Amino acid sequence: MFEFLLCSLLTIFPDYLFRRYVQGKRFGREITLYSVWFELRWGITACIVLTISLITLIFYFHPSTSHVNAAFRTVAVLPETSGRVSEIYVTAFQKVEAGQPLFKLDSSEEEAAAEVARRQIAEVDAEMTVSRTELVAADGAIVQAQAAVQQAQDEYDTQVELNKLNPNVVARREIERRQVALEGSKGALTAAQSNRQTLETKLQSLLPSQKASAEAALKQAEVDIAKTTVRAGVSGTLQQFTLRVGEVVNPMLRPAGVLVPEGNGGKPWLVAGFGQIETQVIKVGMIGEATCVGKPFTIIPLVVTEVQEVIASGQVRASDQLIDVANISQPGTLTVFMEPLYPGGLDDVPPGSTCIANAYTNSHEELESSDISTGRWIYLHVVDTLGLVHAMILRLQALVLPVQTLVLGGH
């Protein structure tokens, strides 16, 4: 409509002025409702051709879209484990800081596991104390066994020596009995030494390992207890936080609410969906403009910072069914990210606001080239000049948008 009105000022209106003041024709006489086409056919035809050409050039080289949104990031408030809510520390719409507790799940099972681990540690400590006492007793048993071996050895040596001096004094059977007693004493010494080695191994390896396992179980239980207290991952405002004590939350199926990070979760930007036909035109660094419903009567200068390389409507995910192309052939849009050209450009725009955006082709570098032809030079000048027309249209839309939304839209 705006393009047609602008073109009619250059075609239909001059044709009418010629008919009126040169040919002397007037509305109601020579120019009637039925003779408008015949009398103004040159202006109407030129207006239609010019309008179509103008719209084609403008919307191709200076694309526009109403699929624009002041996107913002949200963070789901989810626990790391399922459980029943036992305490709530915050309320809906409250501003929270990163790390601030939000709510707590029932931790009786985790606390019981922690208490069991503490008891196991205490039991291992007691067993280590007992083992140290047994080690002292084992040392005493070794000393006793060594003394018994020494005594048995002396008695055996004495009997052998007497037998050498006079075989009739000591019977052979007595020597064998002394030898058996000596071997028994040596066996008792070996058993005492083995018992001490067992106690040392138990004190140095087994019991420390058991204690380390119990301490690891305690740390795991303490980590599980800490997980029952859900904290804010980032600073922001809680939204849709309707949690109540006694409810069950699940990290897969039942979130507790939504956290909107401060500053829209990072740099403010607009996400725009342009037509696929403009893929070859829209480039990173292009200058653009937008007007948003949340900030009426305002034109926001923008710059294209990122262009998504793929069209979202064509994505395919692995499944157990073959993909029918007819189901994914719906035309999608080219996703473009635009940031304010000047700091604070989107400060007053509510996150999630709907906008209308233009992007303008700039041919300055090519126009400055010395190898450009005259025809190309004129054509690019026309293209760049038409960007002014589109900028005018956007400003008219900014003026009409509140009326269209509040009056014609029934809101």
Residue 47 has pLDDT above 60, yes or no: yes
Helix, strand or coil for residue 97? coil
Could you tell me the CA-to-CA distances from 82 to 106, 241, 263, 292, 372 in Å, in that order?
A: 10, 17, 31, 42, 68
Three-point CA angle 19, 23, 26, nearest 5°: 60
User: Which candidate, 72, 30, 59, 14, places its Cα nearest to that of 351?
Assistant: 72
What's at 46, amino acid-wise? A
CATH of the domain at 318: 2.40.30.170
Same domain, 315 and 403: yes
Three-point CA angle 293, 297, 302, nearest 5°: 75
Q: How confident is the model at residue 359 (pLDDT cuts 50, 70, 90)?
A: very high
Domain that holds residue 15: 1-61
User: Which candidate, 329, 213, 339, 355, places its Cα nearest to that of 287?
Assistant: 339
Same domain, 334 and 281: yes
Which of the pair, 44 or 293, is modelled with greater confidence? 293
Q: How confident is the model at residue 168 (pLDDT cuts 50, 70, 90)?
A: low
Same domain, 141 and 160: yes
pLDDT of residue 357: 92
Helix, strand or coil for residue 295? strand
Residue 324 has pLDDT above 80, yes or no: no
Average pLDDT of 219-224? 90
CB atoms within 10 A of CB 287: 16
Same domain, 217 and 332: no
Residue 410 has pLDDT above 60, yes or no: no
187-198: pLDDT as tens digits: 877 887 788 788
Same domain, 293 and 371: yes
Same domain, 389 and 255: no
d(CA 249, CA 263): 28
Rg (CA), the chain: 46
Each residue of 252-283: b (16+ CB within 10 Å) or e? eeebbbebbbeebbeebbbbbbbbeebeebbe
CATH of the domain at 211: 1.10.287
pLDDT of residue 338: 92
d(CA 202, CA 200): 5
pLDDT of residue 409: 66
User: Which candidate, 189, 188, 162, 159, places its Cα nearest to that of 176?
Assistant: 159
Same domain, 186 and 121: yes
Which of the pair, 172 or 198, is modelled with greater confidence? 198
Average pLDDT of 291-303? 89
> For the chain, what is the mean pLDDT?
82
Same domain, 159 and 234: no
d(CA 332, CA 335): 9
Residue 167 has pLDDT above 80, yes or no: no
107-164: pLDDT as tens digits: 888 889 889 989 998 988 888 888 888 878 877 877 887 787 787 777 777 767 766 7
Residue 165 has pLDDT above 80, yes or no: no
Same domain, 287 and 373: yes
CATH of the domain at 94: 2.40.50.100
Read off the pTM.
0.66
Q: What pairs with residue 348 in β-bridges?
A: none
Same domain, 158 and 284: no
Residue 169 has pLDDT above 70, yes or no: no
Domain tally, the chain = 4
Average pLDDT of 64-93? 87
Same domain, 237 and 91: yes
Q: Rounded to an integer, what is the distance from CA 213 to the centroid of its chain?
A: 35
d(CA 173, CA 159): 11
235-283: pLDDT as tens digits: 888 888 888 888 888 887 778 888 888 765 556 788 999 988 888 889 9
pLDDT of residue 303: 93
pLDDT of residue 290: 92
Same domain, 371 and 241: no
pLDDT of residue 263: 67
